[in-house]
């Protein structure tokens, strides 16, 4: 599972570079709408496979409360997240967007402590603080804020999207443990796709699709790999992998995104952005270290009550 998590994050590292390529001919809201329309259609086609359908149908959300939760997550959560992410990506670099998205596990731990009463020990608090310091450097390209410009606005939008995403993940935790993660995912996509299309049509007008080869390849990558494949496998793993390992795998995205953005987009970053990236990664590592130890402890066999200790 570890290598599958690494592979997923390597694929996700290319998502912001792909979005930057699509932004050359498309608007942010329409990119989000097409992405989740493709994801919903793809999962729908998979449901036509008898074995796949027979496995998932009994594990769909089946209570009004859980259906409403999934609907809210898709209609409100996914919509807000990706409008913020893609509009922010239009204003900043792909690498900075990926770095700031990597801070999201910190928010998730804070929300889980607040809402779910999960432990939030000192190591996680320090990790969160260090990661937020790194995010500050990335947003401001220095310790002291300079003039407020479009790039900083884009970075703040990415950070805000990460906060909403973390809240959504906490809400998803209960659903993913009770039902099939992929079934919940499809329900959310079915709600998010038409809503994003309505918002895009209302705010940006009819879609103008000019797909040269680079945009076509970026679109297929974003929908087929980053959405349909990655999200499906990620939600499937949520039922099986320890959350600490999944959070730790985010490490891979930052260096991979920097390489991809340099090779494809020729992005060059301010030195303080690299310092900020290092702090973000260090903070995520420190915060998830105790989670990994907790997961190992939970997997250790517990001694039987009637077992007598021998010298």
Which of the pair, 2 or 113, is modelled with greater confidence? 113
Domain ranges of the chain: 2-296
pLDDT of res. 85? 95
> What is the mean predicted confidence (pLDDT) over 282-291?
69
Report which of residues 155 and 137 the model is more confident about: 155
Nearest Cα to Cα of residue 18 among 211, 237, 238? 211
pTM of this prediction? 0.79
**What's the rounded Cα separation, in Å, for the pair 59 and 7?**
27
- Report the distance separating Cα 26 and Cα 30, nearest Å: 7
pLDDT (0 to 100) of residue 309: 39
* pLDDT confidence bin for 254, thresholds 50/70/90: confident
pLDDT in tens, 41-86: 998 898 888 877 777 767 788 888 888 988 888 889 999 999 999 9
pLDDT at 244: 53
- Least trusted range by pLDDT, from 94-98, 106-110, 257-261: 106-110
Least trusted range by pLDDT, from 72-86, 103-117, 237-251, 277-291: 237-251
Q: Which of 19-33, 113-127, 186-200 has the lowest mean pLDDT?
A: 113-127
The predicted pLDDT at position 251 comes to 64
Q: What's the mean pLDDT when you consider all of the chain?
A: 81
| Confidence label for 310 from pLDDT (cuts 50, 70 and 90) | very low
Percent of the chain exceeding pLDDT 70 equals 86
Whole-number pLDDT of residue 306? 47
Q: What does the pLDDT average to over 114-142?
A: 77
Q: In this prediction, what percent of the chain has a pLDDT beyond 90?
A: 27
Q: What is the pLDDT of residues 193-249, one digit of tens each?
A: 999 999 999 999 988 777 789 999 999 999 999 999 988 888 777 766 655 556 656
Residue 307 confidence (pLDDT)? 44
What is the Cα–Cα distance from 92 to 85, expressed in whole angstroms? 10
């Amino acid at each position: 599972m570890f290598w599958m998590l690494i592979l997923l994050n390597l694929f996700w590292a290319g998502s912001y570079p792909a979005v930057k390529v699509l932004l050359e001919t498309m608007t942010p809201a329409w990119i989000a709408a097409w992405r989740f329309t493709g994801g919903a259609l793809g999962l729908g086609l998979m449901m036509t496979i008898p074995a796949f359908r027979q496995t998932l149908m009994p594990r769909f959300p089946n209570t009004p409360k859980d259906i409403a939760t999934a609907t809210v997550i898709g209609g409100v959560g996914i919509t807000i997240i990706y409008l913020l992410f893609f509009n922010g990506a239009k204003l900043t670099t792909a690498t900075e967007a990926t770095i700031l998205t990597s801070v999201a596990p910190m928010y998730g731990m804070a929300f889980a402590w607040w809402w779910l009463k999960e432990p939030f020990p000192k190591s996680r608090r320090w990790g969160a603080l260090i990661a937020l310091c790194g995010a500050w450097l990335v947003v401001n390209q220095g310790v002291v804020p300079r003039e407020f410009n479009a790039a900083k606005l884009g970075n703040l939008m990415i950070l805000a999207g990460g906060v909403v995403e973390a809240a959504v993940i906490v809400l998803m935790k209960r659903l993913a443990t009770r039902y099939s993660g992929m079934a919940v995912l499809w329900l959310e996509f079915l709600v998010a796709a038409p809503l994003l299309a309505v918002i895009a049509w209302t705010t940006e007008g009819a879609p103008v699709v000019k797909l040269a080869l680079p945009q076509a390849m970026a679109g297929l990558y974003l929908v087929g790999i980053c959405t349909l494949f990655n999200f499906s496998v990620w939600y499937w793993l949520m039922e099986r992998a320890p959350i600490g390992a999944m959070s730790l795998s985010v490490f891979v995205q930052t260096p991979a995104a920097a390489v991809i953005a340099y090779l494809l987009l020729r992005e060059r970053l301010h030195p303080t952005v690299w310092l900020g990236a290092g702090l973000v990664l260090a903070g995520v590592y420190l915060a998830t270290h105790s989670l990994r130890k907790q997961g190992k402890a939970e997997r250790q066999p517990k001694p039987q009550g009637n077992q007598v200790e021998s010298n």
